[in-house]
Amino acid sequence: MNINLITKKSLSRRTMLRSTGAAIALPLLDAMVPAATALDRIPALTARRLSYTFLPMGADMSRWIPPNDHDLNKLSYILSSLEGMKHKLAVITNCDLQNAYPGSHATSNSAFLSCARAKLTESNDYHLGTTVDQIAAKHIGQQTQLPSIELAMDLLQTVGQCDNGYACVYQNNLSWSSPTTPLPAEAHPRIVFENLFGAGGSIEQRKAAIQRRASLLDAVKDDIKRLNSRLNHADGLKVSEYMDTIREVERRIQKAESDVDKNPLPDLDRPMGVPAAYADHARLMYDLQVLAFQGDITRVSSFQLARETSTRTYPEIGVSDSHHPLSHHGNDPEKIARMAKINRFHVSLFAYFLEKLDAINEGNGSLLDSSLLLFGSGMGNPHKHDHSNLPVMVAGGKSLGFKGNQHIRYEKPKPLASVHLTLLNKAGIAMESFADSDGTIGELFV
């Protein structure tokens, strides 16, 4: 084991704790900033991180759109869990995805990050467009361990034709590194954890590794001790909190694995290590994104809360209906209300993500303050397969000049591509246009 340190007075931002099969990147510390530079004088002019969360099958927009035209002083039913974070949030009403028409679940999923028209095909000659997260990864992800991470909640990928002549690949994948290269998303938290921190091998080998060591951190504890001897009190607390979070994520993964092993019922669809409850699984996937950002392992993430046409049920919130059939509500008020309850549940999990990022100090603000996060769907009214009036919101922080507590309502439809272009430019990626964009969203920033 060795700790990768340099001899200057400041530590390298790329300092890592290493042991066999593991590498732990560290959060931004005071010791990583040259002594002559005050942290509060370091401007965060561009976003350090970009995150994209996909909401499946649109929303009940009557319960999504905030009642006030310009501010979020009063939140809607679906957005109510964001009360504590609305000062770092902007809701954008009347965005559309023209290239998702003639209208389908497949194109809702595929156009969300690409704003491109999917080739109608049931075979492997699919064609879409490079997605915004992968454009960002090529520019701001080259100095990190992983250029980007692609996460999902669905453990099994479907194959063949999934929706009105469109190949399933369009629903399985949010991220595309080229028009012909979809990037599979990972839903298993153990595999994501090991992608971030090491320890490969088969399922049997990973399970044996768990038994050999109680924690990844145990393998580098001597290096942590030596590192702490070089840090001031504030940095020592940051490292301690970061390591505690890693240990807690490990504990929850191991607990889920243990629960699955003890479950006497057949569980053919869920590999070991996946929490049984949707909320526990989703929070764990968000926690892994927080760790990846905090350790600067990656600066770009995409997360699919469920694929389009998902038949998942949500008994933990009292909704036994399958989501996809429920989304085709036929204007039945009771069905719409249950769909809105699912929307509200998904938003509450995003609120958890924002709160976690905002609670972690980094330099002259929080992780959220130097990040930009997009949450939304490629569909508005799912009953009509409509790609207009989409549920869209952006979160960010003061270090970027982000203007929170905003409801930006457009009279005429605004291309979602314009939102994407705005975030790319704010991340320092100079582009004049993206897909069918019509400029940037200047209202988002001071």
- The pLDDT assigned to 113 comes to 98
* Per-residue model confidence as pLDDT tens digits over 311-330: 999 999 999 999 999 999 99
| Among the listed residues 184, 164, 168, the one whose alpha carbon sits nearest the alpha carbon of residue 176 | 184
List the structure tokens of 400.
């970027």
- The pLDDT assigned to 55 comes to 98
State which amino acid sits at residue 2: N
Task: Assess whether pLDDT exceeds 70 at residue 6.
Answer: no
Query: pTM for the whole thing?
Result: 0.81
- The pLDDT assigned to 353 comes to 98
* Per-residue model confidence as pLDDT tens digits over 278-310: 999 999 999 999 999 998 889 999 999 999 989
Task: Assess whether pLDDT exceeds 90 at residue 161.
Answer: no
Question: In which element (H, E) is residue 175 found?
Answer: strand 175-178
Angle between helical axes of 278-294 and 333-358 (0-180°, round to 10): 30
Looking at residues 219-224, what average pLDDT do you find? 72
Question: Which positions ≥6 away from 217 have C-beta within 8 Å?
Answer: 24, 224, 243, 246, 247, 250
Looking at residues 185-214, what average pLDDT do you find? 69
Lowest-confidence range among 191-195, 373-377, 437-441? 191-195
List the structure tokens of 150.
């692609």
**DSSP characters for 142-179?**
TTSSSS-EEEES--S---SEEETTEETHHHH-SEEEET
- Biggest CA–CA distance in the chain, Å, is 68
Looking at residues 125-137, what average pLDDT do you find? 96
Overall residue count recorded for the chain in this entry: 446
Angle between helical axes of 416-426 and 132-140 (0-180°, round to 10): 10
Paired strand residues for 169:
none
- The pLDDT assigned to 210 comes to 52
Looking at the chain, the whole-number percentage of residues with pLDDT higher than 70 is: 78
Class of domain 46-187+303-444: alpha beta
Looking at residues 357-378, what average pLDDT do you find? 93
Which residue in the block uniquely carries the two structure tokens 């990768």?
4
Between the CA of residue 95 and those of 99, 220, 378, 392, what are the distances in Å? 13, 48, 10, 7
- The pLDDT assigned to 389 comes to 97
- The pLDDT assigned to 255 comes to 65
- The pLDDT assigned to 362 comes to 84
pLDDT tier at 23 (50, 70, 90 boundaries)?
low
Looking at the chain, the whole-number percentage of residues with pLDDT higher than 90 is: 60
Looking at residues 271-276, what average pLDDT do you find? 70
Looking at residues 378-385, what average pLDDT do you find? 94
C-alpha dihedral, 293 to 297 to 302 to 305, nearest 10°: -70
Domain ranges of the chain: 1-30+190-273, 46-187+303-444
| Cα gap 377→347, rounded to integer Å | 12
| Among the listed residues 347, 414, 339, the one whose alpha carbon sits nearest the alpha carbon of residue 98 | 414
Question: In which element (H, E) is residue 197 found?
Answer: helix 189-197
Lowest-confidence range among 71-75, 224-228, 266-270, 291-295? 266-270
**Average pLDDT value over all residues in the chain:** 84
- Find out whether 369 and 90 touch, Cβ atoms under 8 Å: no
- The pLDDT assigned to 157 comes to 63
Task: Assess whether pLDDT exceeds 50 at residue 267.
Answer: no
pLDDT tier at 332 (50, 70, 90 boundaries)?
very high
- The pLDDT assigned to 322 comes to 94
Paired strand residues for 49:
371
- Count the neighbouring beta carbons within 10 Å of the beta carbon of residue 332: 13
**DSSP characters for 311-341?**
---BGGGTB-S-HHHHHS-TT-HHHHHHHHH
Looking at residues 411-424, what average pLDDT do you find? 97
Looking at residues 48-67, what average pLDDT do you find? 97
Task: Assess whether pLDDT exceeds 60 at residue 206.
Answer: no
CB contact burial 141-157 (16+ within 10 A = b; e otherwise) = beebbbbbbbbbbbeee
- The pLDDT assigned to 335 comes to 96
- Find out whether 58 and 377 touch, Cβ atoms under 8 Å: yes
* Per-residue model confidence as pLDDT tens digits over 225-251: 777 777 887 777 777 777 777 776 777
Cis peptide, bond prior to residue 333, ω within 30 of zero: no
| Among the listed residues 258, 170, 223, the one whose alpha carbon sits nearest the alpha carbon of residue 16 | 223
Paired strand residues for 373:
51, 395
- The pLDDT assigned to 15 comes to 60
- The pLDDT assigned to 264 comes to 43
Task: Assess whether pLDDT exceeds 60 at residue 160.
Answer: no
- The pLDDT assigned to 240 comes to 76
pLDDT tier at 215 (50, 70, 90 boundaries)?
low
- The pLDDT assigned to 31 comes to 64
